[in-house]
Amino acid sequence: MNNIESYRLGKELDSFNYQEVQDCILAILDKGYCAVLDMTDCTYVSSTGLRVLLYSKKVAASKGLNFLLVGVSNEVKDIMEVTGFNNFFESFSTMEECLESIK
């Protein structure tokens, strides 16, 4: 099993913090670890944030790794459903559920 590392997102993923979030996710993937983005506190994702998620997923896939989402709020689920992004990501309610699924 691959190593797993998570990154906990703040209230928003937008043009103000996307670079920091993307850099942290890519650093996890560069170590050869599967990345879990903990979105428990996040209530808003902009189009820039959605691009970060999609790019992270593509980089993970190119390395044979997983990029998973945890704790996606109803507000963010709505954004992802409207844009169709919900079809691209595997998401879990809790970190425990996520870790159990990838054992």
> Residue 102's pLDDT is what?
80
% of the chain with per-residue pLDDT over 90 = 91
Q: What is the pLDDT of residue 2?
A: 63
| Domains of the chain in sequence order | 4-101 (3.30.750.24)
Cα–Cα nearest to 71, from 45, 33, 97, 50:
97
For 37-52, write each residue's pLDDT tens digit. Answer: 999 999 999 999 999 9
* Measured distance CA(50)–CA(18) in Å, rounded: 9
Mean pLDDT value across the chain: 94
- At residue 72 the predicted structure's pLDDT band, cuts being 50, 70 and 90, is very high
The kind and range of the H/E element at 45 are strand 44-45
